[in-house]
Amino acid sequence: MTDFDDETAGSDAAGSIASAALAVLREQGPLSLEEWATHLEEYGAATELADVLEYLSEPMLGYLPNGKYVALDTVLEGLVFTHRLSELEIASDILDASPDLEPILAFGDGEDGAIRVALAEEAAVERGAAPFRSRRVVVLPAGTLGECADGDLIGLAVEDGRLAFRLVEIEDEPDLAPALGELFEEDGVEALDSVCWQLLLEDPSLFTVPVAPLGEIFEAAGYEHERELLARRGFDFDAYDLQIRTALVASTYDLTHDEAVAAVAFVDLADRGYTDAVIADFDIVDWARRHVSAAPDFFVSLADPGAAVAVFDLGFRNQDPVTDAILEALASELAERGPRSVRAAAHWLAGKAVDRLGRVLEAEAHYEKALLAESGWGPALFELAQFASDRGDATRALSLLGRIDGGSEENLYAVLQDFVPADHPELGRNDKCWCGSGRKYKVCHLGKADESVKADGRWLYKKACLFAFASEFVDVVTGLDDLENANLSEDELIAATIFDGSALDVALFEGGIFADFLARRSELLREAEVVTAAQWLGVRRSVYEVIETSDTGVVLLDRVSEETVTVVHPVEGKPGDLISARLLTAPTGALAVGVVVMSSESQAARVLEVLASEELDAEELVRESRGGADHSTDDR
């Protein structure tokens, strides 16, 4: 499949292009991108096809050091690659893939109990084995290596497009030094598998019989490997890795080279601190003070908001108490001892850390200090705007968003429009308030939202939804939402429309995000909201039949309890429709959230079956709630 296929799901034309492209490559390859596209001009303009081919994702597709593409099954069929066994591999029937088996990993699909390729961590857990060196491993059927001993040589051959196990003996000892010398520049580095494919194209007789393992051949030729890369002996892989990572960060986050260097260095420092903290108990604050004091100006380029956001996204996206403690210590020291220009970024990073550690008021203080250092620092303004919304102060939240370039495009801005205080220009400040309280307008509702709006639960629910867009939850939210909205980008998924449907609601409650919201935001919420939110925690979704709709509300029949309930706010669906939803009780009445209209009685039955499970599967619930290609609909 290709990205082109993804964007035009179900398109016969896209599938035809993919099939034709591989057929051409098998017949004509190796081909450059331009040559490849030219052979397919009957499907469209060569330049457009080149864009499609560049992102073709196909196991049999190989990319060569000279920039050309090749169909791997035409190159590797019938060849055998050897590997020398270790005790760990024998005990687990799992083989380290790098470097010896890298060129043939595309053939390990593992169907029908055959040899398969897997991620090392997953395979180790599955077989109860110790960690492996390689990122990917070859998993053999259990018992395959039972008669083998440490140091034995085995082979994996490509036969009919699948991997086959063999016991082998070395029959040839090729000298690859001359051929490798022509492929590599003096300080060059290449992907190990690509190098092997290129060598095979230049000499098809290679590996037709068992030879020494690739790692031993490369070592004899004066080359060494690391992280699936190959270079001449003495190559600085660490420096190369840092260079690549820095360039990638600069490109991804649109940073200057200096900003990217500072961001990567900060994340690496935190990673080292995490490793030290896990291995041995030590004083994190003292550790941070020593490292920041040693070079207080080193992180000056983090002053740019984009660089600070990159740091948080790269190193601290996932919530972890030790990681957050390290971030707090480093950022606090940087705020105190670093140059003035970086204080806003440092306070923002510290605020993010203490917020996740459950100290929201300290986080708020850090964000305020960030604005004292730089009044227009966008990320701090946004965090304070969200805090103001959580406190129920829509006016201040909108004011803070208004100080951010593009603030009106934020989801928070759109949400707040429903909760902005209503103006009553006919009233003077000292007139009696319109609500009938008997108090003056200026002390009652001037600049404040109607209390009924705060009490009906909608704002509280939206606050939790916005909280769910924090970086530590975004993978859960978008992962579930993608089940409902295939082919949307992450930015499109995290849009105002994400409030519709079941995905975000399931992520909040079944995914546990709402419990985190209540724990971390209770100090900002009104006391009545905390009480309401606590009541919501145990509420499960159900399937309802729409009985009646009117100006006063919507009457729903719960298909589980067979009780009726009236929802005061509009609900998608007409009388007779079946909906999947969660009904939350607020002081002013019931609120239906995460509403999805069912397509059939059978779909409703499947949703109810999932909901009845003791251990509810969030992904299955979303999948069944939206219906899908896996199920045919029937008439009610």
Amino acid 501: pLDDT: 67
Amino acid 239: pLDDT: 93
Share of the chain above pLDDT 70, in %: 87
Confidence of residue 198 (pLDDT cuts 50, 70, 90): very high
Instruction: Give CA–CA dist 165/154, Å, rounded.
Output: 8
* pLDDT of 279 higher than 90: no
Instruction: Give CA–CA dist 508/515, Å, rounded.
Output: 8
**Residue 3, SS3 per DSSP:** helix
116-119 sheet: strands from edge to edge: 94-96, 136-139, 116-119
**DSSP 8-state code for residue 81:** E
Give the number of C-alpha atoms closer than 13 A to the C-alpha of residue 216, restricted to the C-beta side.
Answer: 12
Amino acid 452: pLDDT: 56
Instruction: Give CA–CA dist 123/510, Å, rounded.
Output: 28
Amino acid 293: pLDDT: 87
Instruction: Give CA–CA dist 276/444, Å, rounded.
Output: 56
* pLDDT of 126 higher than 50: yes
Helix axes 458-467, 513-521, angle to 10 degrees: 100
Confidence of residue 596 (pLDDT cuts 50, 70, 90): confident
Confidence of residue 57 (pLDDT cuts 50, 70, 90): confident
Show Cβ contacts of residue 421 under 8 Å, excluding neighbours closer than 6 positions.
394, 395, 445, 446, 447, 448, 449, 450
> Which one-letter amino acid corresponds to residue 580?
S
**Of 255, 246, 327, 243, the residue nearest 292 (C-alpha):** 327
* pLDDT of 117 higher than 90: yes
**Of 25, 24, 22, 31, the residue nearest 2 (C-alpha):** 22
**Of 370, 363, 286, the residue nearest 326 (C-alpha):** 286
Instruction: Give CA–CA dist 6/457, Å, rounded.
Output: 38
Lowest-pLDDT range of 381-395, 451-465, 573-587 = 451-465
**Of 421, 418, 422, 387, the residue nearest 401 (C-alpha):** 387
- HEC readout, 283-340: CHHHHHHHHHHHCCCCCHHHHCHHHHHHHHHHHHCCCCHHHHHHHHHHHHHHHHHCCH
Amino acid 447: pLDDT: 58
Q: Which residue has the higher pLDDT, 468 or 448?
A: 468
Burial of 4 (0-12, 13-18, 19+ CB in 10 A): buried
Amino acid 495: pLDDT: 44
435: phi then psi, degrees, rounded to nearest 5: -80, -10
What average pLDDT does range 591-608 have in this prediction? 88
What average pLDDT does range 207-229 have in this prediction? 93
Reported as a single tens digit per residue, the pLDDT across 60-112 is 999 999 999 999 999 999 999 999 999 999 999 999 999 999 999 999 886 66
Amino acid 629: pLDDT: 36
Lowest-pLDDT range of 81-90, 172-181, 494-503 = 494-503
Amino acid 627: pLDDT: 63
CA distances (Å), 302 to each of 39, 261, 309, in order? Answer: 48, 9, 9
Question: Dmax over Cα atoms in the chain, in whole Å?
Answer: 101
Show Cβ contacts of residue 30 under 8 Å, excluding neighbours closer than 6 positions.
64, 66, 68, 69, 70, 201
Amino acid 493: pLDDT: 45
* pLDDT of 276 higher than 60: yes
Token pair recorded at residue 380: 């701090």
Q: Which residue has the higher pLDDT, 434 or 617?
A: 617
Amino acid 429: pLDDT: 77
**How does 132-161 read in b/e, with b if 16+ C-beta sit within 10 Å?**
bebebbbbbeeebbeebeeebbbbbbbeee
Token pair recorded at residue 34: 């331009």
Length of the chain: 636
* pLDDT of 190 higher than 70: yes
**DSSP 8-state code for residue 597:** E
Q: Which residue has the higher pLDDT, 427 or 401?
A: 401
Q: Angle 626-628-629 (CA atoms, 0-180°, nearest 5)?
A: 170
What average pLDDT does range 407-425 have in this prediction? 81
Amino acid 437: pLDDT: 52
Instruction: Find how far residue 80's CA is from the centre of its chain.
Output: 37
* pLDDT of 143 higher than 50: yes
* pLDDT of 1 higher than 80: no
Mean pLDDT of the chain: 85
Q: How far apart are the first and last CA of the chain?
A: 36
Q: What stretches of 167-256 show up as alpha helix (H) in DSSP?
A: 177-183, 192-202, 214-221, 237-253
- HEC readout, 47-65: HHHHHHHHCECCCCEEECC
Show Cβ contacts of residue 447 under 8 Å, excluding neighbours closer than 6 positions.
395, 421
Reported as a single tens digit per residue, the pLDDT across 299-358 is 999 999 999 999 999 988 888 899 999 999 999 999 999 999 999 999 999 999 999 999
Confidence of residue 9 (pLDDT cuts 50, 70, 90): very low
CA distances (Å), 349 to each of 108, 334, 342, 373, 412, in order? Answer: 44, 10, 11, 14, 21
Residue found by looking up tokens 């959580």 in the block: 390
**DSSP 8-state code for residue 226:** E
Q: What is the dihedral of CA 486, 488, 492, 496, to 10 degrees?
A: -20
* pLDDT of 600 higher than 90: no
User: What residues form DSSP beta bridges with 163?
Assistant: 158
Neighbours of 60 (CB within 10 A): 17
> Which one-letter amino acid corresponds to residue 398?
L
**DSSP 8-state code for residue 542:** E
Token pair recorded at residue 411: 């989801």
